[in-house]
Structure 1
Amino acid sequence: MLRLILILLVFIVLDFYTFQTFKVLFKSNIIAYSYIFVSILILGNFIYQIFTFDRSNGIPLRFSIAFSLLVLFYVPKLFVAVTLFGEDVYRLFSRLFSGNAEVLKTSNYISGRRKFISQIALGVAAVPFASILYGIFKGKYNFKVLKYTLHFEDLPEAFNGYKITQISDIHSGSFDNKDKVSYAVDLINEQKSDVILFTGDMVNNKAEEMKPYINVFSKLKAKDGLYSVLGNHDYGDYVHWKSSEEKQQNLEDLKGIQKEIGFNLLLNEHKFIERNGERLAIVGVENWGAGGFKKAGDLKKAATGIDKNDFKILLSHDPSHWEKEVVKDDYHYHLTLSGHTHGMQFGIEIPGWFKWSPVKWRYKYWAGIYEELGQFINVNRGFGYLAFPGRVGIWPEITVIELKKGTKPA
């Protein structure tokens, strides 16, 4: 309850400052109070959706719409509030130090708000508003191919130049444009990688979500095949089932769909890919996540039968697994591929230079390539989207990784 009260107070502060902007710029009670009405409507609808959320069918469309409107209208208000709060601080200190403290007793403080600052605040807020609007209508299908080259001294010679395409977090239950998804599948095939690896969350909750897209993803082709693991959403843990048998059947149906598409689903097991008498191991664990997520992954079981000196590529949906268990394992997993974070579907990124998202406060490894103790992890930003039907700054990703033998050139 305390958390809810604090959140509501934040919304009230945001609306207080934004209301001032409208009052100063438009000097119209009709516009100002229309703003209040719309804000109450959007916030009230979102609260209503939360308290009437029916988990039997996952995330309903009406909740996604309510969440989209909340993000679209309240994130820009944060920029307005920060701008005007900065002016408040400036006015407070400048007038205190000038010795004119009487202004602090002025009842009509809003009228003292400078029009110029209000225009700046609204102009600044227009940038995230337009960005979020773009993310909802275009950004969620703005697929990017990110390419990396990783060097390993102990890579088998036969696999020098080996190309991997990784996709993750399809979340097929969220899609609303089959043509865009088909375009992305064609983009994956255009990479002509040796193997395609999928790191979990094929659906939001139910296997039936993937049925309309079976024929689309069945077009995926790679010389050495397709391999996959399960993500936390694939188990159906986030909906209410009539029975445990129904839930288990849903999981079996999803396994069947993965097989129909052509994926070799790895459930705490491994497969070897062989070339010219040499091999590398594709190791796949079930979901293992810190912070309350399912811990079905069994790394020891998955590695049974693998030599310690084998070159290993691990598929593990949640990057917290790499941080907590994998990177310190004696077996030395050369490359781990994960997803899960989506990069929060929101952030600022200049490829190769800068990346930021609020999700970094939750996950140490949240997007891209990281190296620890001579081992690498790639955290894919995700193919699809969940809850918020859009992406802002953090685009849907297709990762292509080329393995090279030797040390990285200086």
Structure 2
Amino acid sequence: MLRWIIFLLFVAILEIYAFQAFKTLIRSKWFFIFYYVTSAVAIAFIVYQLFHFDRKVGQTPKTMLTFGLLLLLYLPKLLITIILFGEDLVRFVMGLFSWATKNTSESFLPERRKFVSQVALGIAAIPFVSLLYGVTLGKYNFKVIKQTLFFPDLPDAFDGTTITHISDVHSGSFDDEAKIQYAIDLINQQNSDLVLFTGDIVNTHAKEMDPWIDTFKGIHAPKYGKYSILGNHDYGEYVEWNSSAEKQANFEAIKDIHRKIDFKLLLNEHIKIENGQHQIALVGVENWGRKFGERGDLNLAAEGLTKEDFKIVMSHDPSHWDEKIQHHENHFHLTLSGHTHGMQFGIEIPGWIKWSPVQYVYKQWAGLYENAGKYIYVNRGFGFHAYPGRVGIMPEITVIELKKGEKVV
């Protein structure tokens, strides 16, 4: 009960400050009637949905809508509150100074300045418009990002091999069949030699993928095949189950999804991809992460491989590379991960800036990273989760070309 009181008190403070900003600039009675009604309806809807969240069901389109609405309405109001609260501190200090110097006026506090309210509303409009774009267009604004990597010890037969890498499908969040088909067509247009998927095929329940089986089965079988691993969401850890048997049955059904869409699921194991006399090893580990479980067993997955073998690791959570893989004596050349989604929120201008709040949690959170000739590529994610949109960090289809030799600087 206390958390609800704190939440409602916090919302009330944001509403009071937002109202003051609008009141400074707008005098229309009808505007404020509309403002009161829409705010009351939105708060009622959010509170109702949060209060009735079913932990046995987990995330649904309604819960995502609730979270999206919460961000859309109250992130801008939070910025307004911060700016006007700062102005209040200044007004309070000025009032104290006037009182101390006996320079009294009609009011202890000076009036709010119209300019400050204009600035606050202008700044607040930026996240409002961005979040609105994110839930309408951004979540399906797929980007194909291409990357060429050089390895001196790449087997000759694999020079020029291309890999299409996708991650974090989260099929339970989809709501537009045409957009998903468009993304599958983009994958097929790359004509890569190998297609790899690095986990989180659903949010929680295997049935989320049922409407999308045929769509994802439509990913063309490339020269070297289609392979996949599991992510943290694939284990059903984020809802309450009626029994352990029910949870296990869901897990088995999730694993079977990969067979249904013609992907070979790797569970702490590796396969060797051959081209004539040459081969590379594809190592697939179960989820390993600092925060979301350590089921992955890299040593088991790579058992029998040597330091000289060329190895590509599929590991869902990039913290695995940061803590284990990059320091491993067996020298894993390339790791492919996902998991972070780039937080689905940030600023990214290639060659200029790449920022997201998630970078304060994960050192490797989007794109390519290198240490001593060992690489990790973190895919920004195919789908979306929790917030039903993307701002700045767009859904990604990665195409990696492997080249033999040294990188030309």
Aligned residues: 408
Aligned counterpart, 1:21: 21
Aligned counterpart, 2:255: 255
Equivalent pair of 1:205/1:233 in contact (CA under 8 Å)? yes
Equivalent pair of 1:166/1:399 in contact (CA under 8 Å)? yes
Change (3 A) 1:33 1:223: same
Structure 1: runs of 5 or more not aligned:
none
* Correspondence 1:148-297 to 2 at 5 A: 148-221=147-220, 222-291=222-291, 293-297=292-296
Tell me how far 1:119 sits from its aligned partner.
2.2
What's the secondary structure of 1:370's corresponding residue? strand
Tell me how far 1:97 sits from its aligned partner.
8.3
Tell me how far 1:240 sits from its aligned partner.
2.3
Aligned counterpart, 1:390: 389
Tell me how far 1:394 sits from its aligned partner.
0.9
Equivalent pair of 2:60/2:173 in contact (CA under 8 Å)? no
Residues of 1 paired with 2:49 and 2:158: CA distance?
A: 52
* Correspondence 1:370-389 to 2 at 5 A: 370-389=369-388
Deviates more, 1:6-15 or 1:366-375: 6-15
Tell me how far 1:117 sits from its aligned partner.
2.7
Equivalent pair of 2:64/2:387 in contact (CA under 8 Å)? yes
Give yes or no for the alignment of 1:63 onto 2:63: yes
Residues of 2 paired with 1:104 and 1:190: CA distance?
A: 74
Deviates more, 1:375-384 or 1:43-52: 43-52
* Correspondence 1:129-144 to 2 at 5 A: 129-144=128-143
* Correspondence 1:292-303 to 2 at 5 A: 293-303=292-302
Residues of 2 paired with 1:327 and 1:3: CA distance?
A: 42
Equivalent pair of 1:197/1:228 in contact (CA under 8 Å)? yes
Equivalent pair of 1:342/1:382 in contact (CA under 8 Å)? yes
Tell me how far 1:79 sits from its aligned partner.
3.1
What's the secondary structure of 2:234's corresponding residue? helix
Question: Deviations 1:82-129 (Å, cap 9, x if unpaired)?
Answer: 4434545666678888998668987574x7222233223222222221
Tell me how far 1:361 sits from its aligned partner.
1.9
What's the secondary structure of 1:250's corresponding residue? helix
Tell me how far 1:349 sits from its aligned partner.
0.9
Give yes or no for the alignment of 1:357 onto 2:327: no
Equivalent pair of 1:170/1:383 in contact (CA under 8 Å)? yes
Tell me how far 1:23 sits from its aligned partner.
1.2
Change (3 A) 1:359 1:44: farther
Aligned counterpart, 1:369: 368
* Correspondence 1:84-103 to 2 at 5 A: 84-85=84-85, 87-88=87-88
Question: Deviations 1:13-41 (Å, cap 9, x if unpaired)?
Answer: 43333221111111356644754554454
Equivalent pair of 2:95/2:108 in contact (CA under 8 Å)? no
Residues of 2 paired with 1:139 and 1:150: CA distance?
A: 29
Tell me how far 1:330 sits from its aligned partner.
0.8
Structure 2: runs of 5 or more not aligned:
none
Deviates more, 1:388-397 or 1:82-91: 82-91
Residues of 1 paired with 2:101 and 2:127: CA distance?
A: 36
Residues of 2 paired with 1:343 and 1:101: CA distance?
A: 53
What percentage of aligned pairs have identical amino acids? 56
What's the secondary structure of 1:21's corresponding residue? helix
Change (3 A) 1:297 1:106: farther
What's the secondary structure of 2:327's corresponding residue? coil
Tell me how far 1:8 sits from its aligned partner.
5.8
Tell me how far 1:312 sits from its aligned partner.
0.7
Change (3 A) 1:94 1:215: same
Residues of 1 paired with 2:402 and 2:236: CA distance?
A: 35
Tell me how far 1:6 sits from its aligned partner.
6.6
Deviates more, 1:40-49 or 1:395-404: 40-49
| Corresponding letter in the other structure for 1:366 | W
Aligned counterpart, 2:331: 332
Cα RMSD between the aligned structures? 2.6
Residues of 2 paired with 1:100 and 1:313: CA distance?
A: 71
Residues of 2 paired with 1:143 and 1:174: CA distance?
A: 15
Residues of 2 paired with 1:238 and 1:400: CA distance?
A: 31
Change (3 A) 1:362 1:9: farther
Aligned counterpart, 1:314: 313
